[in-house]
Structure 1
């Protein structure tokens, strides 16, 4: 049995980071939250533009994502920063976190105003960081690791090297009884028949088919847009086209391979917690990178593997994001952003299996504490998928 060094939480989950999270309940309190976190090294902030004027599924999705982000095992403690009149209840956020056994506090901007709220919040977070710093890594089974799989800025190299290498890493973790999340519903259209074959029951197929239909119907409602004087397909970005991808099916076949050959054991809504059962979970997210990663981290991902042919600096507020490219030119141009270059696979100097093992060695180092390029650069992206109108 392979092991890693992680932070064992009271609920039995294991984190690879030990963050104190400053969590605004609404956009209106995000500035105060950012100021508090900036004043306290060892804390992070999940700043976002949601939390009010939302209804129905859209409101529930934001609420679920905020709660489950706070419950991610990479988070040691949470300060909720509320305004006081928002639709997402900051009191409920605090109470749910406390009920999970995790330390949580609350500061309301309308009780004190910006300046005093920042002062009081800073004092609370300092104490939380001091307490969290007493936690030490423990040796735990590698099966406690949860990988989220993402691609963005894809080009010709993504489906030939980076995505298959990530799939190899997924298979390695699966053999250790770990869990993997594959997202971006738009980028599975055209390859869904291959995923249906890996599902263990009809209910999973029904849920996944419904998610695909929602995305396709939404796309069909809208005509193509003109970007840089070019008529661009709705489900492929202008960069994908310039990078050599010709059809959505081509992109999807390359994207789905990030899940390797791992059996599909669950189909989840955006930001929904995955189950304890080892295997691959499909999560309904958009192809928009930051929102997709946010959803997977809320679902339980503790490390994210992010492939990019053309390059992107994207990170996450609480989970390390390992940036992987199969394009050697991108690796050179964005060497301060790219963690792993697997272009040798295309040139024939490395096999997929060798690349997968090399990548998984990096995954283990990151899980054990090594910082990714996005962490070093302070790339703390966090954005919640908005699925309804705001009133």
Structure 2
């Protein structure tokens, strides 16, 4: 099956043609936003971190910012630094530029403050916009897609309808030679052994179990039992009784394909097929990690309803709750409640989801994208010092 995509210099294919304005620290986020607001095709990534981070936490933020700039949906990048942050400004720019896409840098302290930095940023971003304006999507194969799978605001219909339907869509993309990603480590708890059995090798299965165990141990270091915060109050009100029930519903999103590897947050898959990424259960941070890992489209199930999107990748909203679809019709793209009513099978709705993924790859705007939802957050794993 063919889709329309933008072939980047590194050979990867995007389905959007954004200019990413990336602040390397929270202190440069306002300048980045001011620039993006005035340049057609530009999106600012409101990075809330970038300074006073240490160890693996610092490395993760740097890796994520670089990955977002490398994402194939991004045609060009302007890196906006403050000048004294922990994130290495020019290293981030150089790593992104290694893909062959045009990259520019401004540093607020070197340019002379907010107004001068904004003016210089507008000049450079305008040049980038002119460089990529001529790019046109070309016909390519659906196997070039990298799809992220997310759930949020889950209720009892998620595990029964929308999640397994997404699993069918994931299986269809993998069968077509594409790539699919499942995340949210906190929502594997109690079902990790089921996922581990699907891993390509025993070693990968052990890696998955280890990530889940480490997730629980981090919570215990704070004298907190993570099972006390999951399921959330909204999940419980929606009819989910335990973390195990929530997890068993969550993993249905991954369909039945074998798991090729388990990725660190923001890590790029090294091949095609189904992958699992270590991420939090917080929807936005989870999506950000998968998009940093190269995801170009997101399918997102929600029983109770959430309008959230992403600055870089279009997000398709699916609900198995008929009331949610009617109450939040402005936000929901696919009604999967037909599974519960008996009007359609899981396979039929899964095929509808897959077909919409292809439509979105060919330029159709899902509702979150058309409404301007650009929620963003990087997963933080240690205190700020």
Normalised to the residue count of structure 2, the TM-score between the two structures is 0.97
Taking the aligned partners of 1:43 and 1:123, their CA distance within structure 2 comes to 13
Query: Is 2:134 the partner of 1:134?
Result: yes
* Match of residue 252 from structure 2: 257
* Match of residue 41 from structure 2: 42
Instruction: Please point out which of 277, 282, 290 is paired with 1:288.
Output: 282
Please give the secondary structure, in 2, of the residue aligned with 1:387. Answer: coil
Residues 276-300 of structure 1 show CA distances to partners (whole Å, capped at 9, x for unaligned) of x221111000000000000000011
Aligned residue pairs, count: 384
Please give the secondary structure, in 2, of the residue aligned with 1:386. Answer: coil
Shift of 1:375: 1.1
* Match of residue 330 from structure 2: 336
Residues 23-78 of structure 1 show CA distances to partners (whole Å, capped at 9, x for unaligned) of 00000000000000001121111112110100000000000000011000000000
Residues 287-324 of structure 1 show CA distances to partners (whole Å, capped at 9, x for unaligned) of 00000000000011100000000011111110001011
* Match of residue 107 from structure 1: 106
* Match of residue 377 from structure 1: 371
* Match of residue 150 from structure 1: 150
Task: Output aligned runs, 1:187-202, within 5 Å.
Answer: 187-202=187-202
Please give the secondary structure, in 2, of the residue aligned with 1:4. Answer: strand
Check conservation: 2:197, 2:205, Cα contact below 8 A: no
Check conservation: 1:306, 1:322, Cα contact below 8 A: yes
Taking the aligned partners of 1:54 and 1:222, their CA distance within structure 2 comes to 18
Residues 216-242 of structure 1 show CA distances to partners (whole Å, capped at 9, x for unaligned) of 1233445679xxxxxx92221110010
Task: Output aligned runs, 1:259-338, within 5 Å.
Answer: 259-275=254-270, 277-338=271-332
Taking the aligned partners of 2:357 and 2:208, their CA distance within structure 1 comes to 29
Residues 236-264 of structure 1 show CA distances to partners (whole Å, capped at 9, x for unaligned) of 11100100000111111110010101110
Residues 307-347 of structure 1 show CA distances to partners (whole Å, capped at 9, x for unaligned) of 00001111111000101101111111111111111111100
Query: Is 2:242 the partner of 1:247?
Result: yes
Range moving further from structure 2, 174-183 or 119-128: 119-128
Taking the aligned partners of 1:212 and 1:99, their CA distance within structure 2 comes to 33
Shift of 1:85: 0.3
Please give the secondary structure, in 2, of the residue aligned with 1:324. Answer: strand
Range moving further from structure 2, 302-311 or 108-117: 108-117
Residues 136-171 of structure 1 show CA distances to partners (whole Å, capped at 9, x for unaligned) of 111111111011000000001101111011001001
Please give the secondary structure, in 2, of the residue aligned with 1:253. Answer: helix
Check conservation: 2:24, 2:82, Cα contact below 8 A: yes
Please give the secondary structure, in 2, of the residue aligned with 1:157. Answer: helix
* Match of residue 185 from structure 1: 185
* Match of residue 218 from structure 1: 218
Check conservation: 1:219, 1:235, Cα contact below 8 A: no
CA-atom RMSD in angstroms? 1.4
Taking the aligned partners of 2:182 and 2:241, their CA distance within structure 1 comes to 22
Any stretches of 5+ residues in structure 2 without a counterpart? Answer: none
Taking the aligned partners of 2:116 and 2:275, their CA distance within structure 1 comes to 44
* Match of residue 53 from structure 1: 52
Taking the aligned partners of 1:267 and 1:174, their CA distance within structure 2 comes to 16
Instruction: Please point out which of 345, 348, 351 is paired with 1:357.
Output: 351
Taking the aligned partners of 1:358 and 1:264, their CA distance within structure 2 comes to 24
Check conservation: 1:77, 1:132, Cα contact below 8 A: yes
Regions of 4+ moved over 2 Å: 218-225
Taking the aligned partners of 1:381 and 1:375, their CA distance within structure 2 comes to 11
